Every structure is written in C-alpha cells, then in structure tokens.
Amino acid sequence: MHPVQYQYTNNEGCTAAQTRYLGVEPSPVVRLRTSNTLQRGASLVLQPQADSLVVKQYEWQPTTGLSDPTARNPTVSNVNENISYTLVVTSANGCKAQAFTSIVIADFLYIPDAFSPNGDGLNEMWELQKTEKYPDFEVYIYSRWGELVFYNREGHKNFWDGKYLGNKVLPGVYSYVIKTTDAAQKIPNRQGAVWVLN
C-alpha cells in the first residue's frame, strides 16, 4: 500500500488534508531455463516459473514448433534446428515482463574430422558413427579442386577408405556434403571438411 495525501485550501485560507492508501499491483515476474537440450524428433514441455495469480496472458515468440503459443506450458515438437523463444507475460493491469530460453537440438550423428589410411591398422576408414538413427542419406566427398572422389547413398554403411578409382588420394583436406534422402527424418544437410593424413 502506498499513502497518497490530498490537501485543499479554500478562498478564506482554511486548509484540510486527508490521506488515502492505494494498492499497486506488483509487476509480473517470469523465469525460464536458459537452455534445454532436445533429442531430434522428441518433444519438450516448456515450464516457466511465474505467479499465476498475477499473470493473465502468455505469449511465446516465435510460434514455430509450439503446440499453443498462448499457453503457459506449451509443448515444443517437430523442431530440427536450434531455436530461441521469448516469453512475454502480461498482468491484469497491463504490466509486462519477459524471459528467454534456447532449444538445442542434440545431433547424434558423429562425423570424424580426420583419418589416416596408411596401413597401420589405426583410423584406416573415414566412417560416420551413430548412423542407426539416420539410415537414409547420401555422402559426397570432394577434392580441393571440386572433383567428386567418393559417393555413397547407404546411410548406415557410409565409410571411405581414402581411395579414388582404386588409388589412394593425396594427403590433405577434402570437403564433404551429407544430404538426407528421407523426408520424414527432416535431417538438415551437413557439410564440412575431413583431413586425410599419412
């Protein structure tokens, strides 16, 4: 409660004063976890901490992947890339507060960045690991001059022995592109580089 004093003076100079107490609604307070890790294809319920007696409206932005962008606890699903959400809450008297959270998509596809096909029995193959979740994709590997030196479309059997047309390629950096061929998986294309060592 906040005191407010009124004072009135008439033409004769008489003064009267009175104090009233006014209640002011507190501003809403909302908190969210800074980040959440979500397995690809899984779902997650967002759970903000807020005073439900004060907050009258919830608004999530963007609405991508949310079951209901006006719900207090919407479900996040069908999200295949990292995304950040902003939650704006509004109290009955129109005061607003906001909080932020990020969804980090766990990518279980492991892509080695180097291998050494030199015959010593160690790291002889460039092999994608944990591919059981992603059985359908294509792999392209290019030389520094843009020549395609390897291609495979069997997602669960993608490995390269460092050879092109039966001969070992020169040591150096090669670029790869991984493209999904299964629309249902909605796996984003990946690209990067791999070192072929002696």
Report pLDDT for 170.
Answer: 95
Report pLDDT for 128.
Answer: 82
Instruction: Tell me the domain boundaries of the chain.
Output: 30-106, 114-196
CA-to-CA distance for 84 and 79, rounded, in angstroms?
A: 11
Report pLDDT for 133.
Answer: 62
Q: What is the pTM of this model?
A: 0.51
Report pLDDT for 173.
Answer: 95
> Which stretch of DSSP H or E encloses residue 142?
strand 137-142
Beta bridge partners of 126: 160
Backbone angles phi, psi at 60, to 5 degrees: -105, 140
The three-state secondary structure class of 147 is coil
Report pLDDT for 125.
Answer: 92
Q: Which fold has domain 30-106?
A: Immunoglobulin-like (2.60.40)
CA-to-CA distance for 122 and 139, rounded, in angstroms?
A: 22
For residue 133, the 8-state DSSP code is G
Do the beta carbons of residue 61 and residue 93 sit within 8 Å? no
Query: Mean pLDDT for each consecutive 10-residue tract of the chain (198 residues)?
Result: 77 81 74 84 89 85 96 92 93 90 78 90 85 75 96 77 94 90 64 90
CATH pick for 114-196 out of 2.60.120, 1.25.40, 1.10.1740, 2.60.40: 2.60.40
b/e per residue, 112-134, with b = 16+ CB within 10 A? Answer: eeebbbeeeeeeeebbbeebeeb
Do the beta carbons of residue 31 and residue 99 sit within 8 Å? yes
